[in-house]
Structures are given as structure tokens and as C-alpha cells.
């Protein structure tokens, strides 16, 4: 039996770890976060790396989903009329982090900055917000790990003819299901 972990499995493990950290941060900041089911202010049509795209396709096929409804007129075409995500269980990593306090290296500031949905922490005095490594998600580290998995995925599948900068529009899911 081959015990090799595939890049799709590596991606799903990264996604699982992201979900775990997101849940911890949501709990930690519960009194300051208003993002809830149906809140879709941060949702947008986006592109993802091929490893994410094909992981989503594979999972949706396994779930028996043949072609999810996509409405290009909406901010994100996978939102239903109540503003809820119809591909929620399979959504990309970036969608799993929306609203959370996200730390990233800010080149102009020559240091780390934190961003979050403007609906969250709205009643807080910005000077009193104390964000650090224990109460934020480091977006740079997450993106670095995702990019490494993406590059490995491309190496394993040269027949796809994708490059390191290849992104696939999530709107194309239906074409692969």
C-alpha cells in the first residue's frame, strides 16, 4: 500500500488546520465579531490555485454535486438569495479566513499590520486593540504554505501545463463537474 500523502491531502490538512485556528479565533473574539451565517460582505468572485480548485471539484463530485448554481451578477456567484454560500463545505481557504483578524507584513509600514472585516471590532477603540501572534491568523505563513503545496501539485502534474502564477476562476467549477 502506498502511504504517500498527495498534495490534495496536504491542501485539505492545511484547510483543516485553518478551520481549527479560525474556530479558536472566532471563540476568542466572539464578543467583537459580528460575522455570522448569511453575512456576505467579504464574499467576492475569486480565483484559486489549481490544487484548491481540483480539491473542491473532487470533493463536490464525491458528494454527488454535478453543477452548482452560479450567478455572475452577484458579488460571489455561489451565494444564494439569503446570502449563504452554496459551496460552503468545499470553499477555498481564503473564504475560511474572512472577517478574522489577519496579520500580514506591510511593506510600507516595514512591519506587521492587522486587517479584519470592518463590521468586526467596530465598537472597539482602535488604540486599545492589542493584536499579536496569539490572537490573529498570520496570513503570510498561511499563504506561504499554500503556495508550497500549489508548486508541488504543479510538479506532480506537468501535463496540466499550469505555471506558478496560474489561478483558476472558481466560477468554472461547473465545467469540471
Q: Among 112, 115, 78, 86, which Cα is nearest to 99's?
A: 115
Q: Flag residues of the chain having pLDDT under 50.
A: 1
Q: Who contacts 44 (Cβ-Cβ below 8 Å, separation ≥6)?
A: 75, 76
CB 136 within 8 A of CB 116: no
The answer to whether residues 86 and 69 touch, using CB atoms and an 8 Å cutoff, is yes
Q: Measured between alpha carbons, how far is 38 from 36 in angstroms, rounded to an integer?
A: 6
Q: Which class for 41: exposed (0-12), middle (13-18), buried (19 or more C-beta within 10 A)?
A: middle
Per-residue pLDDT, 72: 94
**pLDDT at position 3, please?**
55
Return the pLDDT at 56. Answer: 97
Tens digit of each residue's pLDDT (9 = 90 or more) over 16-41:
999 999 999 999 999 999 888 778 88
The residue extents of the domains of the chain are: 7-176
Note the pLDDT tens digit of each residue in 73-96: 999 999 999 999 999 999 999 999
pTM > 0.75: yes or no: yes
Amino acid at each position: 500500500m502506498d502511504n504517500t500523502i498527495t498534495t490534495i491531502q496536504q491542501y485539505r490538512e492545511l484547510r483543516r488546520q485553518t478551520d481549527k485556528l479560525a474556530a479558536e479565533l472566532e471563540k476568542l473574539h466572539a464578543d467583537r465579531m459580528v460575522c455570522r451565517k448569511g453575512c456576505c460582505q467579504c464574499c467576492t468572485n475569486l480565483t484559486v490555485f489549481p490544487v484548491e480548485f481540483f480539491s473542491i471539484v473532487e470533493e463536490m463530485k464525491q458528494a454527488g454535486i454535478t453543477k452548482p448554481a452560479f450567478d455572475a451578477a452577484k458579488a460571489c456567484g455561489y451565494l444564494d438569495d439569503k446570502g449563504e454560500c452554496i459551496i460552503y463545505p468545499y470553499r477555498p481557504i481564503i473564504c475560511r479566513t474572512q472577517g478574522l483578524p489577519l496579520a500580514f507584513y506591510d511593506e510600507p509600514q516595514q512591519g506587521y499590520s492587522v486587517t479584519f472585516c470592518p463590521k468586526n471590532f467596530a465598537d472597539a477603540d482602535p488604540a486599545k486593540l492589542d493584536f499579536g501572534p496569539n490572537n490573529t491568523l498570520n496570513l503570510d505563513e498561511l499563504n506561504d504554505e499554500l503556495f508550497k503545496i500549489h508548486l508541488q501539485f504543479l510538479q506532480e502534474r506537468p501535463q496540466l501545463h499550469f505555471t506558478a502564477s496560474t489561478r483558476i476562476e472558481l466560477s468554472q467549477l461547473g465545467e469540471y463537474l
